[in-house]
Amino acid sequence: MPFSDYRKALVTGASSGIGAAVVERLCREGLEVHALARSANALEELARRTGCIAHALDVTDLAGVTQLAKEVEFDILVNNAGVDRPKSFLKADAEDIDLIVDVNLRAALHLCRLIVPGMAARDRGHIVNISSIAGAYNFGGNSSYHATKAGISMLSSQLRIDVFGRRVRVTEICPGRVATDIFAHVHGASKETYERFIEGYELPEAKDIADAIAFAIAAPIAVNVGYMEITPTLQVPGGLSTAKGAASAAEPSR
């Protein structure tokens, strides 16, 4: 459905990175964009720059997001909020698991529960779920994060079935490495973090993801762009590794 048929959008995790870029992009299309994140100062600056409506709210605050969903009829929902605590699952903490599940998966489930029925009743709406290549491919150190992003991917597929017969579209955006400050949030804002994840790499930027989302939303009503995997040209997910057993690896070579 063209942008002209939509009026109001909600973007979570909107204070920086992909979320902020999506807010900027949707505001340029003339939508009333509600930007939700915990960082009040960053949201205030974003609102001054774009004209969005700021909601300094934790996406896991169920009472808060429930009230917001009651007050505003959203035509577009962008589930972007996400956190990570990268470590081997052999060293996983209970608190880390709860946080990752609450922010990455449970919040998106509740927002869809609160907003999608209204879209279906009005026969108009678009849900954009930001997953990750971590939900589709295996690589080490992020098991809880992988599990939640795989959940977002399956949620996106299931929603298409649940809204069958209604003009409610669902798009899953599956990014690889993107040049955002997420790495600083996860690993600390240091020169080492920048060199490890950003410096010297040819990476998509947050605005590139926002433009991809805009492309999906702007498609004709008869078109549902269901899935986009967006990675750097010089990045490939997956791979094949083979290890010896722990006992064999511990034996000295002869």
Three-state SS sequence of the chain: CCHHHCCEEEEECCCCHHHHHHHHHHHHCCCEEEEEECCHHHHHHHHHHHCCEEEECCCCCHHHHHHHHHHCCCCEEEECCCCCCCCCHHHCCHHHHHHHHHHHHHHHHHHHHHHHHHHHHHCCEEEEEECCHHHCCCCCCCHHHHHHHHHHHHHHHHHHHHCCCCCEEEEEEEECCCECCHHHHHHCCCHHHHHHHCCCCCCCEHHHHHHHHHHHHHCCCCCCCCEEEECCCCCCCCCCCCCCCHHHHHCCCC
- Whether 6 sits among the annotated catalytic residues: the reply is no
Question: Which entry of 6, 137, 145, 194 is annotated as an active-site residue?
Answer: 145
- Residues annotated as catalytic (active site), given as ranges: 145
